[in-house]
Amino acid sequence: MDTSMNLITAQISFLEGRFALIHIPLEYYPFFLQPIQRLLFGEDHDEDASKIPWPYRHDFLNVSITPIECSIVCSRDLATRFFRPLVERFADLLGGGDQSDHVHISLEDFEVIQVDGQGLDAGQRVLELTSPLALAGISIFFQTTYFSDYILVPHKSIHTVIQTLEQRGFTFSPSAAAYVSHLSPSSPITPRHNRHSSTSNPFDFPSSSSAPSTPPASNINELRKQTFSKLKRAGIVPDVDRSIRLLSCAARKETNKVLNAQLRDDLLQVLLATCPGTNTYHENDNQAPKFSTRFLSLTLTSEEPISLLLESSLLSNPNLALASTLLFSRSSTSYSPEDEGSPGAGKNVLIPITLDLRHLPLEATGIICGVAGCLAQVTNHSDHSKDGRNHPDDDGEKLSPKTVNTESFMKQIEVRQGSASEAEAQENAVEISFLSTARAGTVIVREKELERAIRALEFGAEMVSPPRVGNAEI
């Protein structure tokens, strides 16, 4: 194979501003709906806000509502203006107790790094970019959107981040106003992923000055084991709700005031529908949405149209016009209600695998890289049997950690040169993306690949489980 095929052109840009991370427990989300609406659609951000269409008023903004929490990443100034007064009132009312159930604004600032490139899928980017940062002991936030990838890093660690990137081969390009590099994948076992798939790791949040309880890992394998050891000690197991079926999409670049207004009105309805207590409605209430949803992630930047990760059922909802105002992943440029039940609908439908990190130690790092590394090894398995044909339905037997030991399992998923063509490998690989929120990590996979991804995570847990004699651990 031509080695040039393995080179990846990557460009990393540091966005302007400092950002805060906000955690809102779901039971308090309805109280914060008004400031969230002002954050997304208001014209009072600054003196120029009213002159700019609402989807482009932020250097970076993410609002995510998941089954675990509402999580917001926005500029420090807007976090202070729109959220701090209400957060302080809640702090006075709630007093002490379990801090994981409180509303929080991060004490430390974060910087946002935008990642663009060719030749890398999301899973590869996770490993290539988060592994050196994780090994350097830097806690990060990773998100893959329809157009780009974004990494949040603590502002206090920015010099270490730049040094780590330079050691990785990145150099600053004045013409591009960004760090650029031709990367050669550090791991021969990496997943494949659609570029248009939307993105996991806890922060030290609220900030903690205590030293890590576990020494930093010296390599990826050690980091992977440390990750699953942390999850096991905290009693964290992957949670899958198959009824949450997602689509990755984005607003169209060619837009106008009418389309922007329609999208704004639809998203207002969706935000209302995510509120606990609005799952039912009264016929005489014209304001209450006549549907409910449990998962939504919006990403706005000043340079790209809005990216969304939302439940597929919203696209066929007669009360919304989202199907006509959005672009969708893969080759789809539109969506019709019939797509939801069609045989090919599963190619676009995504299922979230959630890791509830609310009780993980504050100094935890490396969760993204550790989980991605485990998924990368399994999900790049080419599904080829001895007769040379694909048997994807055999995965349940071949990849179950309960039926093979570690050594044979690792041999089974080993990628061998020439075992399959590049096209075949891409077709067979699991598409992985990540969504990091304040208190949770969400791994997002295609519906048809869900079982393999779950088994990969189960295998990661098996790697750190002690030997057993009968029903007892030793």
Phi/psi at 75 (5° precision):
-60, 150
CATH of domain 8-380+429-466: 3.30.2130.10
How many angstroms separate the CA atoms of 219 and 138, rounded?
14
pLDDT tens sequence across 226-256: 888 888 888 888 899 999 999 999 998 877 8
The average pLDDT across 281-290 equals 49
How many CB atoms neighbour CB 451 within 10 A?
15
Q: Look up tokens 């969504």; give the residue.
A: 435
User: Mind giving me the DSSP string for 336-362?
Assistant: -GGGGGSTTGGGT-EEEEEEE-TTS-T
Cβ(385)–Cβ(419) under 8 Å? no
Measured on CA atoms in the order 233, 210, 168, 219, is the torsion positive or negative?
negative
Lowest mean pLDDT among 43-52, 184-193, 419-428: 184-193
How many CB atoms neighbour CB 230 within 10 A?
22
Cβ(439)–Cβ(197) under 8 Å? no
How many angstroms separate the CA atoms of 457 and 452, rounded?
9
Lowest mean pLDDT among 69-73, 85-89, 165-169, 461-465: 461-465
Residue 92: closest CA among 103, 106, 79, 81: 103
Is the preceding peptide bond at 206 cis, omega within 30 degrees of 0? yes
Q: What is the pTM of this model?
A: 0.78
Percentage of residues in the chain having pLDDT higher than 70: 65
Is the pLDDT at 288 greater than 60? The verdict is no
Residue type, 185: P
Is the pLDDT at 385 greater than 70? The verdict is no
3-class SS at 413? Answer: coil
Cβ(90)–Cβ(346) under 8 Å? no
User: Mind giving me the DSSP string for 138-175?
Assistant: ---EEEE-SS-EEEEEEGGGHHHHHHHHHHTT-EEETT
Domain spans in the chain, listed from the N-terminal domain onward = 8-380+429-466
pLDDT tens sequence across 434-474: 899 999 999 898 898 898 888 888 887 777 765 444 544 44
Lowest mean pLDDT among 135-139, 198-202, 376-380: 198-202
